[in-house]
Amino acid sequence: MTIRYLKEGQDAQALAAADAKVRSTVETILADIGQRGDMAVRELSRTFDQWDPADFRLSDDQIQAAVRSLSPRELEDIRFAQAQIRKFAQAQLDSMQEIEIETVPGVRLGHKHIPVQAVGCYVPGGKYPMIASAHMSVLTAKVAGVPRVAATAPTYKGQPHPAIVAAMHLAGADEIYTLGGVQAVGALALGTESIRPVDMLVGPGNMFVAEAKRQLYGRVGIDLFAGPTETLVIADDSADAEMCAVDLLGQAEHGPTSPSVLLTTSEPLARGTLAAIEEQLQRLPTAEVARASWAAHGAVIVCDTLEEMLAKADELAYEHVQVLTRDPDYFLQHMRNYGALFLGPRTNVAYGDKVIGTNHTLPTNRNARYTGGLWVGKFLKTCTYQRVLTDEASALIGEYCSRLCHMEQFAGHGEQANLRVRRYGTRAEVPWYQPVAALD
């Protein structure tokens, strides 16, 4: 197996040093919010966002003013995107069946899907107004049946971004806040005098928001552990350099720490893509960010075979995987570690990010090895229940349970079973704190 790097990104040691600084900063901020509540949140908002409104929660009048400020075309575009996302989320929900079965006569076991009761949705918006994140989080939670959804986004150029507010509202948010950064997710998770705590946090964010969610996990649930967005383009010699470069830079513009990788069996395509990236960076409006990202975190990897590309792609376990090969379905059938696949040249990561219907909150940092992305099921707790309907069934299960408990040396557990054997069976002589003897 021969794998060649024509370009490599930053090494893991440099990334770890940066992560340590972020962890320390976030820990201090969360402790401050936990101790001082609203006062800390307001000070942090003034410091980081120069935002100090009378109330961080938007009123109905403010929400309606934001909606009215958008053109009919803008509102229609938001509604179209939300219709696609709602349709796919509903189909996912419909696939989740509640069950109840009889395992032995008189024993009924089942599970129910119960919505999380309160969810906080973070929508990034400081650098770029991430309107789509409102659809992906708020709307999906509402399809799942979450009764209280609190959505928040930072200011954009000093004010609430009207399209983000409108998207939150149209998606069904019950509370809308203009509050960003660690102070936003901290307030939602920990609660303050004016913000009721939630049970779960979802949504993407910068490295500080992602770290805050990591530290808050356990106090609340989260969708997943997220890092900077990632994209992997898998291509063979049927692809063209222009499209590869566009699809790589389209994600590199997210931020200066966003990895973008080309994985290909064609060295001419690899070299052509490198040249096309340099050419496009001369005219890309977001080139300042994309150039920094590509310089530090871009990579071009050349393999000899499809099988080598598959193995490398599964090792990378990237968030977004764009497949530009003669047979994209080969990767659909065989690839195991990815956030979302984009199969063929007619689709791309931007479609998934903004409008096509699948969710754009996806695993990064190789987390795709053990989890998928945000979906309607993340907002549902699958909870089991049991019924024992006959005396005979209770006594039967009790006999087995008693002996198994004593194998583990749990006498108190065993007595729970023994009591049922005495009361509901025909063996009143069963001694306390001893395993029930088998009759055969």
- The two structure tokens encoding residue 7: 């370009």
**Between the CA of residue 374 and those of 172, 204, 246, what are the distances in Å?**
18, 10, 26
The CA distance from 24 to 19, in Å, is 9
The CA distance from 44 to 61, in Å, is 26
Active-site residue numbers?
319-320
The CA distance from 195 to 39, in Å, is 12
168 burial (CB, 10 Å; 0-12 / 13-18 / 19+) is buried
The response to whether 206 counts as a known ligand-binding position is yes
The CA distance from 313 to 301, in Å, is 10
The response to whether 413 counts as a known ligand-binding position is yes
**Between the CA of residue 359 and those of 42, 124, 375, 388, 409, what are the distances in Å?**
32, 15, 6, 41, 47
The response to whether 330 counts as a known ligand-binding position is no
Answer yes or no: are the C-beta atoms of 151 and 168 closer than 8 Å: yes
DSSP state of 57: B
The CA distance from 238 to 244, in Å, is 11
The response to whether 152 counts as a known ligand-binding position is no
CA 136, 38, 127, 211 torsion-angle sign: negative
- Please report the DSSP string for 154-171 in residue order: --BTTB--HHHHHHHHHH
The CA distance from 393 to 398, in Å, is 8
The CA distance from 283 to 112, in Å, is 54
Q: Which residues pair with 110 in a beta bridge?
A: 100, 385
Question: Within 13 A of 154's CA, how many CA atoms are on the CB side?
Answer: 27
The response to whether 353 counts as a known ligand-binding position is yes
The response to whether 348 counts as a known ligand-binding position is no
Answer yes or no: are the C-beta atoms of 172 and 115 closer than 8 Å: no
Known binding-site positions for substrate:
229, 251, 254, 320, 353, 408, 413
Known binding-site positions for NAD(+):
122, 183, 206
Known binding-site positions for Zn(2+):
251, 254, 353, 413
